[in-house]
Amino acid sequence: MGNQIDPVRLTQDLVRCESVTPVEGGALALLEKELTALGFACRRLTFSDEGTPDVENLYARIGTAAPNICFAGHTDVVPPGNADDWIAPPFSGEIRDGRLYGRGSSDMKSGVACFAAAAARFLEARGTDFGGSISFLITGDEEGPAINGTVKVLDWMADEGETIDACIVGEPTNPEFLGQMMKIGRRGSFTGYLTVHGTQGHSAYPHLADNPIHRLVRMLEPLTAGVLDDGTEHFQPSTVAIVTVDTGNPATNVIPAKTSATFNARFNDLHTAESLEAKFREMFDAVGGRYDFRVECTSNAFVTEPGPLSDAVAAAVKEVTGKEPELSTSGGTSDARFIRKFCPVVEFGIVGQTMHKTDEHVTVSDIEALTGIYEAALGKFFDAAKA
């Protein structure tokens, strides 16, 4: 018998590592130990940037041949909030009634544990001469600013001549039950910061002032519809939400000199950050007056067209669960937005109903099933590569 990993036990051990971003908390060290015992060559990578905390990351690989299929994920977690509100201590990994509780159990330490266990089972069944390579790209900066994590690991890999040919991101993708959904892309995220300027004055004499709030309301009115288009083949309609409106005016008899609003758009492949900025400026210009508009875009929309990678994962899901997963691009952003520039990428992971919530948990049965899905996906991926 070769080295084996119990995915439930490893999930518990990872949850017990208090790895709140950017603290490593022992999680990467634990994973490195497990993968080294399987024969993986491991590299711990610490990256820095001005104004951000240093972050530790892990890249591990077994095999030297192509294709190299990579599992990407993170061991950092969001803060647990008030521990007294939890049914079990948030870093206990305690199992109650078939549920494993703890911060990061869903997002996404169970996914990391499942893939490690799947790799161990795959290697025991096929040995190390399986016709390719398996690698792990695990960051400690997914829940944070995402500056010293996956992006810099990928840059390091490019400098080292380290190539990945396909990637599975283990984020929780299933809304209600395992096997329900796989992500083949993600919408882009665009944030607009709008400040409208006017002329301050007495509210009893509005004709002597220029009320910026009135113009701001008219500028924002087209956004209140909430959608920007009708969607595309792989994407739902682009959405926009006004998230804050701020004037900071404590006086009831003063028209303010300026007011501001912030809105966020989640957009499909009909748009880019540049086209959205132009679209919004055209809306604002139609109202007129002086305004400032600043934008941020963390990611443009992307999609990995269905192909060998998604076929392998979908077939594995069907084999283990009997369900055919929906190929979706819904939800927020993930580190897949960086990886897609290097290779085809899909996301499949545990049920995510409780991620970031008090009493975050996963079922033990789903941990076992997800391990089986990942093991089957590895087999189907390499079998297809040989065909």
Residues with Cβ within 8 Å of 358's Cβ and at least 6 positions away in sequence, in order, are: 80, 81, 82, 85, 86
Which residue shows structure tokens 């006086």?
251
The radius of gyration of the chain's CA atoms, rounded to the nearest angstrom, is: 24
The reply to whether 230 sits in an annotated binding site is no
Q: Note if 230 is an active site residue.
A: no
Q: Note if 305 is an active site residue.
A: no
Of 76, 94, 360, 375, which residue is the catalytic one?
Answer: 76
Pairing of strands 185-186, 302-303: antiparallel
The reply to whether 324 sits in an annotated binding site is no
CB 335 within 8 A of CB 190: no
Query: Residue 270 CA to chain centroid, in angstroms?
Result: 21
Tell me the angle at which helices 7-15 and 27-38 cross, rounded to the nearest 10 degrees. 150
Q: Is 35 helix (H, G, I), strand (E, B) or coil?
A: helix
Measure the CA–CA gap between 49 and 249, rounded to whole angstroms: 37
The reply to whether 34 sits in an annotated binding site is no
Burial 267-282 (b: 16+ CB within 10 A, else e): bbbbbebeebbeebee
CB 181 within 8 A of CB 175: yes
Q: How far apart are the first and last CA of the chain?
A: 29
CB 112 within 8 A of CB 34: no
Of 142, 269, 366, 375, which residue is the catalytic one?
Answer: 142
The reply to whether 361 sits in an annotated binding site is no
Measure the CA–CA gap between 47 and 265, rounded to whole angstroms: 30
* 46: its two tokens: 């610490």
Measure the CA–CA gap between 331 and 183, rounded to whole angstroms: 9
The reply to whether 50 sits in an annotated binding site is no
Which residue from 121, 181, 135, 192 is spatially nearest to 379, judged by alpha carbons?
Answer: 121
φ and ψ at 353, to 5 degrees?
Answer: -60, -30
Binding residues for Zn(2+): 74, 107, 143, 171, 356
Binding residues: 74, 107, 143, 171, 356
Just list the catalytic residues: 76, 142
